[in-house]
Amino acid sequence: MESSQAESRPSVTLGVALILVAAFFIVFAKDIPRVGLAGDADPGPRAFPLAMAIVVAAGGLIELIRAAMSLRQTRGTRSHVSESTGAKNIASARTSYKNFALLTGATFVYLVALSWLGFQISTLLFSSAVLSWLGARWWSALLAGLMIVIVVRVLFVGLFHVQLPVGVFNLTF
């Protein structure tokens, strides 16, 4: 029970990291040319990175607000911090940094794997691995990864006619 409480605690580091990722999306989206395939109603290829930046930045702001509220509540209810609580906080911070480093590394591997393995395989492997790392059962993570692949494929290939990377296996299903 105690480990789940530590994992759900708000994190300033996560909030700042999410905002930096959103800034990354915005900076690189500005170089994408605005090409409307269906006239003015078509948002073009720049829309997805900008929408993703908005969602990720909102998540970062929510995390920062939660962390600030948690800090205020903690300061108001505790007059001192015991040594055991301090040790738990240090262990929790190490776990947070470890999770952040592993997820950042996994994201980098995913981005590299996209060109070699294609969207379907790399996204299925990445999402399943990340969800398993975050505590989901393997079959649940695999099912969620499969649903992510199907939904994104239907939306982008079927609805928006965006070609996704096919990789060396040339999977176009």
pLDDT at residue 117, as a whole number: 93
Sequence-distant (≥ 6) Cβ neighbours of residue 31 within 8 angstroms: none
The pLDDT of residue 78: 54
| Encoded tokens for 127 | 């999402």
Q: What angle do CA 72, 19, 28 make, to 5 degrees?
A: 175
State the Cα–Cα distance between residues 42 and 127, nearest whole angstrom.
29
CB 168 within 8 A of CB 120: no
Supply the pLDDT for residue 8. Answer: 61
User: d(Cα 3, Cα 45) in Å, to the nearest integer?
Assistant: 42
Q: In this predicted structure, what is the pLDDT of residue 5?
A: 42
Handedness of CA 43, 44, 46, 52 (dihedral sign): positive
Per-10-residue mean pLDDT for the chain, 173 residues long?
52 88 86 64 73 90 89 65 56 72 89 91 94 91 95 89 86 68
Predicted pLDDT at 2 = 43
Domain ranges (residues) in the chain: 1-79, 84-173
Length, in residues, of the chain: 173
- Which pLDDT score is estimated for 1? 39
Would you state the pLDDT for residue 147?
96
Measured distance CA(141)–CA(130) in Å, rounded: 8
Q: How far is CA 3 from CA 83, 89, 149, 167, in A?
A: 18, 11, 31, 40
